[in-house]
Amino acid sequence: TLSHALPSQTALLALRTDSVGGSLVTVTPKAEDLVHALEKVPMMTSPEIVGPVTRPVVPVSGASGSALSENVMDQVTIRFRWTR
């Protein structure tokens, strides 16, 4: 369910969970779009950005597959709780 909720071009870098909730670290085009998408996941509640949103430059292959270009993405950590 979580992987289907992630916006297009979002990569999940880390996921930590416990009995109360958890946190995930992602690289995504827009951090706020990710929070809105996670609000719709039935098993999660109260997703919130914790810490800074950084913008690492992510290399992507060009249309021909040979040239590399740069794509600016948001790296973000989001904390959430499980629904009861």
pLDDT in tens, 21-73: 999 999 999 999 999 999 999 999 999 999 999 987 766 665 555 555 567 78
- What's the pTM value of the predicted model, to 2 decimals? 0.78
Question: Using CA atoms, how far apart are residues 24 and 7, in angstroms rounded to an integer?
Answer: 14
Q: Report pLDDT for 58.
A: 63
Res 59: pLDDT:
66
Question: Would the CA dihedral through 29, 5, 14, 46 be positive or negative?
Answer: positive
Residue 29 to residues 17, 19, 23, 45, 56, Cα–Cα distance (Å): 24, 29, 18, 22, 11
- pLDDT band, very low/low/confident/very high, at 2 (cuts 50, 70, 90): confident
